[in-house]
Amino acid sequence: MNKALLFLLFIPLVSWGQNQVDTLDLSEYENKYELSKIINETSGVEFYNNFLYTFNDSGGKPELYKLNSSNGKIVQTIDIKEAINIDWEEITRNNDTLYIGDFGNNLGTRKDLTIYSIKIPQNNTNENISTTIINKLKFVYEDQMDFKNYGHLKTNFDCEAMIYYNNLLHLFSKRWGDNKTVHYILNPKINDSVQVAKKIESFDTECVITGADIYNKELYLVGYTKEGAAYLWKFMNFNDHHFFSGNSKKVLLGLTAAISQIEGIAVTENQIYITGEEMNYSLFKAPPILYIIDKNEL
Average pLDDT, stretch 25-44?
Answer: 96
More confident residue, 27 or 1: 27
Q: How many CB atoms lie within 10 A of CB 134?
A: 11
Express as a percent the part of the chain with pLDDT over 90: 86
**Structural domains in the chain, sorted by start:** 3-297 (2.120.10.30)
Contacts for 15 with CB less than 8 Å, ≥ 6 apart: none
Q: What is the CA angle 233-169-98, rounded to 5?
A: 95
Residue 19 has what pLDDT? 58
Residue 12 has what pLDDT? 45
Distance CA 276, CA 84 (A): 22
Q: Decide: residue 127, CB within 10 A, 0-12 exposed, 13-18 middle, 19+ buried.
A: exposed
Residue 5 has what pLDDT? 36
DSSP code, position 296? G
Q: How many CB atoms lie within 10 A of CB 139?
A: 20
- Chain segment 164-193, per-residue pLDDT in tens: 999 999 999 999 999 999 999 999 998 778
Give the chain's radius of gyration (CA, Å). Answer: 18
| Nearest alpha carbon to residue 138 among 223, 197, 98, 182 | 197
Average pLDDT, stretch 67-79?
Answer: 98
Three state DSSP letters for 137-180: EEEEECCCCCCCCCCCCCCCCEEEEEEEECCEEEEEEECCCCCC
| Predicted model pTM | 0.93
3-state secondary structure of 87: coil
- DSSP lists the bridge partners of residue 92 as 99
Q: What is the CA angle 23-284-60, rounded to 5?
A: 90
Mean pLDDT across the chain: 92
In this prediction, residue 244 has a pLDDT band, given cuts at 50, 70 and 90, of very high
DSSP code, position 257? H
